Amino acid sequence: MSYETILVETKDKVGVITLNRPKALNALNDQLMDELGHALQQFDQDDAIGCIVLTGSEKAFAAGADIALMANYTYMDAFKGNYVTKNWEHIRQIRKPVIAAVSGYALGGGCELAMMCDFIIASETAKFGQPEIKLGTIPGCGGTQRLPRAISKSKAMDLCLTARMMDAQEAERSGLVSRVVAPEKLMEETLAAAATIACMSLPVVMMIKDTVNRAYETTLSEGVQYERRMFYSTFASDDQKEGMKAFLEKRPPQFKNS
Ligand code: CAA
């Protein structure tokens, strides 16, 4: 498949996807979401890839769902067309880690897309927000659900109800992003983090992603039980043997992803 709205490249063991609709500040339309889903699945199936980075331009990670597309939607267009659900949820099926590298605007669906990634590294220029209220609608791809879990109910209400933007420093203080870096260092730092992850044991990386995500979906005692079962299962892997042996022999581990 050739892509028109995204750029796809690999850097060693890291797959990089760049949203690329610059004239519309990477507004997320159906074509882009279809192409993004396809590219993510390709990287997920590629044994040579250990981690995925999703980024946008310097000015915008993504300024939201495409307003021109939605402007004349009827209820039936949205409901029968399964809008959003049909192609925005692909990213949740990806088993390898996906890091969002965010510069500039991450608004509405752009903020929601970043939140669907496993963690966010932000440039000092990043701005996050859920301004749908100004358009007479509400967030439609998890903003009202993921934002309170990430930054507390009070801050999520503030952002969703006032439509104000949160800068990178506030986003880091609030726990939405894991690190803030200088704009010129965004890709360097993100690729370094992705490369570090890609050198770990891939099955263990996938278990950690799965287990941390469990924390969002279940009770503490169920989650801890789930973690315990996953932890025990690592002792059936060659990579656990290699990782611990390498530590004791004071050498770097050579993981075989088995
Ligand atoms: N959809 C479609 N086009 C968009 C867009 C969007 N979400 N955001 C920006 N664009 C387009 C603009 O229409 C403009 O196109 P033209 O040059 O053809 O006029 C181009 O991108 C550049 O935008 P601006 O001229 O507005 O740039 P700016 O620097 O003055 O402002 C901005 C930047 C503050 C991000 C402003 O563009 C903006 O407010 N965008 C809309 C943000 C928004 O409301 N997002 C939520 C969308 S709804 C949603 O996402 C629902 C959901 O939960 C699924």
ipTM for this prediction: 0.98
d(CA 26, CA 6) in angstroms, rounded, equals 9
Task: Output 85 or 64, whichever has higher pLDDT.
Answer: 64
Is residue 4 flagged as an active site residue? Answer: no
Pocket of ligand 1 contains residue 163 by CB under 6 Å? no
Pocket of ligand 1 contains residue 114 by CB under 6 Å? no
pLDDT for the residue numbered 57: 98
Q: Which amino acid is at 36?
A: L
Pocket of ligand 1 contains residue 115 by CB under 6 Å? no
Question: What three-state secondary structure class fits 56?
Answer: coil
Taking only the tens place, the pLDDT of each residue in 98-146 is: 999 999 999 999 999 999 999 999 999 999 999 999 999 999 999 999 9
Among 19, 20, 23, 25, the mutation site with the greatest number of ligand 1 atoms within 8 A of its Cβ is: 25
Question: Which residue ranges form the domains of the chain, and what is each CATH number?
Answer: 6-198 (3.90.226.10), 201-249 (1.10.12.10)
Residue among 179, 108, 175, 125 at smallest CA distance from 148 = 175
Percent of the chain exceeding pLDDT 70 equals 100
User: What confidence tier does 163 reach under pLDDT thresholds 50, 70, 90?
Assistant: very high
pLDDT for the residue numbered 56: 98
pLDDT for the residue numbered 239: 98
Is residue 65 flagged as an active site residue? Answer: yes
pLDDT for the residue numbered 1: 82
Q: What is the pTM of this model?
A: 0.97
Angstrom distances, CA of residue 109 to CA of 48, 66, 69: 30, 9, 13
pLDDT beyond 90 at 241: yes
Residues 6+ apart with CB under 8 A from 2: none
pLDDT for the residue numbered 18: 98
pLDDT beyond 90 at 89: no
Region 222-231: what's the mean pLDDT? 97
pLDDT for the residue numbered 100: 98
Q: Which residue CA neighbors atom 30 of ligand 1 most closely?
A: 25
Region 231-239: what's the mean pLDDT? 97
Give the residue carrying structure tokens 């892509």: 3
Residues 6+ apart with CB under 8 A from 216: 149
pLDDT beyond 90 at 248: yes
User: What confidence tier does 84 reach under pLDDT thresholds 50, 70, 90?
Assistant: confident
Pocket of ligand 1 contains residue 105 by CB under 6 Å? yes
User: What confidence tier does 29 reach under pLDDT thresholds 50, 70, 90?
Assistant: very high
